[in-house]
Structure 1
Amino acid sequence: MSKRFRQGQILNIIREKSVFTQEEIAAELKVRGVAATQVTLSRDLRDLGLVKTQTGYREMAPEEPGVDLANVAREFVTDIRCAQNLLVLRTDPGHASPVALALDQEAWPELVGTIAGDDTILIIATDSEAATALRAKLLQLME
C-alpha cells in the first residue's frame, strides 16, 4: 500500500469513529487490509497534523495565512474619512472585504469592528479620538 492510501485510510477512520490510541488505529487499518508499524503510524499522524483530544484523534484546522494589512491598504484603499467614532474607507470595487479582514486580524484595541460592502468599509472605533488615531495609523501604514 502507498503512503498516500494509508494516510487516506487513517483520515477515514478518525472521521468515522472516535479512536483514542495508535493501537486502535492500527487495528482499524488491519481490518481494511493496511499494515502499519507503530513508527510508521506515528509519522503518519504527525504528517497529517492529527492531534489527540479528549474525544480521540482529530484533524487540526489548517491555519489560514493572514492578509497583510499594509499591502492591501496600499493596493486598494482610495480614501479614509472620519465621522466622530467612525471611519469610512473607500476601496477599489470588490476589495473592501480583504481590507476589512486584514483590519480585523490586526486586533487593534481602538478598533471595535468593521463592516464591509463592495467598495466601502465602515470601521467602528472606541471613540472619536481613537478614530482619528486609527486614520493616522492607516495613513502611515500606506506610505
Structure 2
Amino acid sequence: MNKEMRLQTITKLISEHEIKTQEELGLWLHNSGLQVTQATISRDIRELKLIKVPSKEGSLKYSFKVNQDHFISEKLRHKLKDALINMEVINYFVIIKTLPGHAHSFGALLDSMELDGKAGTICGNDTCLIICRSPEESERIKQQIEGLQE
C-alpha cells in the first residue's frame, strides 16, 4: 500500500475511533491489513499534523489540528479583551493596535487560524498588520475578529 493510501487509512481511523497512542494506532493499522513500523507511524502523525486532545473520558486522544480552531478563537477572544486598543481597515489591510508587547501574540494566533482572504501577518511591538487578498476580505476579516469580542 502506498503512502497516500496509508495516510487516508489513518485519517479514517482517527475520525472514527478514539485512538490514544501510537501503539493503538499501529494495532488498528495492522487490523486494516497494514504492516508499519513505529517510526513510520510517528512520521505519518507529524505529516497529518495530528495533535492530542481530551477524549470523552478525559484521557488524551489523537485528533486533527483543525479541531483546535475553537481553542485558538477563545485565546484570541481573551487577547482582544485584554490588549486590543483599536482596529481599522485600510484597503487590503487590517491594522490592529495593541498594548506594547502584545502584537506578536496576536499575529501568532491569527496565523494559526484559517481566515479566508488572509495572505499573512506582520507584527511589531504594538501593531499587527493583517494583509488581505482584497479590500472586501479585509473588511470581512475585521468583522470576523470583532465578532469574537461579543
TM-score norm. by structure 2 comes to 0.53
Equivalents in 2 of 1:135, 1:92: separation in Å? Answer: 18
**Residue identity in the other structure for 1:85:** Y
The answer to whether residue 135 in structure 2 is matched with residue 118 in structure 1 is no
Label 1:93 to 1:108 Cα distance change in 2 as closer, same or farther (>3 A). Answer: same
Q: CA deviation at 1:62?
A: 10
| Structure 1 outlier segments of 4+, above 6 Å | none
Structure 2 match to 1:108: 115
Structure 2 match to 1:53: 39
**Residue identity in the other structure for 2:102:** H
* Unpaired stretches in structure 2, ≥5 consecutive residues: 1-21, 24-36, 53-67
Q: For 1:62-101, what aligned pairs fall within 5 Å after superposition?
A: 67=72, 68-101=75-108
Larger CA Rg, structure 1 vs 2: 1
* Unpaired stretches in structure 1, ≥5 consecutive residues: 1-44
TM-score norm. by structure 1 comes to 0.55
SS in 1 for 2:38: strand
Tell me the C-alpha RMSD between the 2 structures.
Answer: 3.3
Q: Percent identity?
A: 22
SS in 2 for 1:108: coil
